[in-house]
Copies of this chain bind each other. A is one copy, B any other.
């Protein structure tokens, strides 16, 4: 298999020699670890038998497949392991499904797989099971991925929306909307250019940093639908009002510029490496200090609070006004993750 010259054919998905070569020479080569067995129907997970087992899955269809700060491969590792991290777990194992379009460049596929391997290694997660399917030319977007993750959480940690109290504080671990705007700029359809990088990254250092705070109620990563959607989920899940302080929400200048130009609201744009935490008011400053001390956490902020009032998301503007943030209806930027 002479990788750089090759393109994926339907026969790479047929269960025969070419599929075996594709799996051995690309997937197994880069993702190898002691648990992965590409010949097996199922693998045994060597898990320590304390703590709870957490399970989550996510699909990825981002366009373009490669963007400043990442690609669909690293995104597929971060997206799924971040869902485990915000649940208070340590991610351990991933499975990987690839739906590859006939004609896709093998070299591009290899770059994506290498990114998966690097992202997984960085957080000590092993890709232990996988499957590839090849779809006809014109019936895929190059590559779609799905990753399913298993993590371990100590039973003492019990984060849930049901623990949120009126007066709790909302924190965000960094500026919002970078991923959405970086991917949009990479599409080039708007004729805009910029140096903005996606924030796509593991949030594990941020989630782990707060787990020993007894006032920590809940964490979530604002992906599709952005910060505003997480605020809406908090409203719906708690019956409380969520007040957001516009001037406190960290935003990078290029995000603000592009949003102003195109009429987007950055609060609805996807992040892929941020966390929103809800925490008791008396521990919010301590949590903030911990986050700000982490690499990439310098712009973490306390951005709002819950209130016993009609369940709306209310944005308090810098000029002293306020407006209700609606639930996302139209899709400002489809295929962002």
**A-B CB contact pairs (8 Å), 7 listed:** A11-B329, A16-B331, A40-B87, A41-B84, A42-B149, A45-B54, A97-B146
Q: Which of A219-235 contact B (CB under 8 A)?
A: 220-221, 223-226, 229, 233
Pick the residue among B15, B95, B150, B335 that contacts A223 (CB under 8 A): B15
Report the stretch among A55-63, A243-251, A278-286, A303-311 that lies at the interface.
A55-63
Whether, in the assembled complex, A89 has its beta carbon less than 8 Å from a beta carbon of chain B, the answer is: yes
Chain B residue numbers with a CB within 8 Å of A224 are: 13-15, 19
Whether, in the assembled complex, A140 has its beta carbon less than 8 Å from a beta carbon of chain B, the answer is: yes
Say yes or no: A99 contacts B61, CB within 8 Å: yes
Among A86, A128, A328, max chain B CB count under 10 A is at A328
Chain B residue numbers with a CB within 8 Å of A17 are: 327-329
- Assign chain A's interface to a size class: 35 or more
Pick the residue among B39, B53, B131, B331 that contacts A47 (CB under 8 A): B53
Say yes or no: B225 contacts A15, CB within 8 Å: yes
Pick the residue among B16, B52, B93, B223 that contacts A329 (CB under 8 A): B16
Chain B residue numbers with a CB within 8 Å of A89 are: 42
Say yes or no: A45 contacts B41, CB within 8 Å: no
Pick the residue among B49, B53, B233 that contacts A44 (CB under 8 A): B53
Say yes or no: B148 contacts A13, CB within 8 Å: no
Say yes or no: A16 contacts B55, CB within 8 Å: no
Say yes or no: B132 contacts A59, CB within 8 Å: yes
A85 vs B19: C-alpha distance when bound (angstroms): 23
Say yes or no: B99 contacts A59, CB within 8 Å: yes
Chain B residue numbers with a CB within 8 Å of A10 are: 331, 334-335
Chain B residue numbers with a CB within 8 Å of A45 are: 52-55
Chain B residue numbers with a CB within 8 Å of A240 are: none
Main secondary structure on A side of the interface with B? mixed
Whether, in the assembled complex, A138 has its beta carbon less than 8 Å from a beta carbon of chain B, the answer is: yes
Q: Which of A64-96 contact B (CB under 8 A)?
A: 83-84, 86-87, 89, 93, 95-96
Among A55, A58, A136, A144, max chain B CB count under 10 A is at A55
Say yes or no: A16 contacts B328, CB within 8 Å: yes
Among A149, A237, A327, A331, max chain B CB count under 10 A is at A331
Across the A-B interface, give the 7 residue pairs with the lowest CB-CB distance, nearest first: A16-B328, A15-B224, A15-B225, A14-B331, A148-B148, A42-B56, A57-B95
Whether, in the assembled complex, A135 has its beta carbon less than 8 Å from a beta carbon of chain B, the answer is: yes
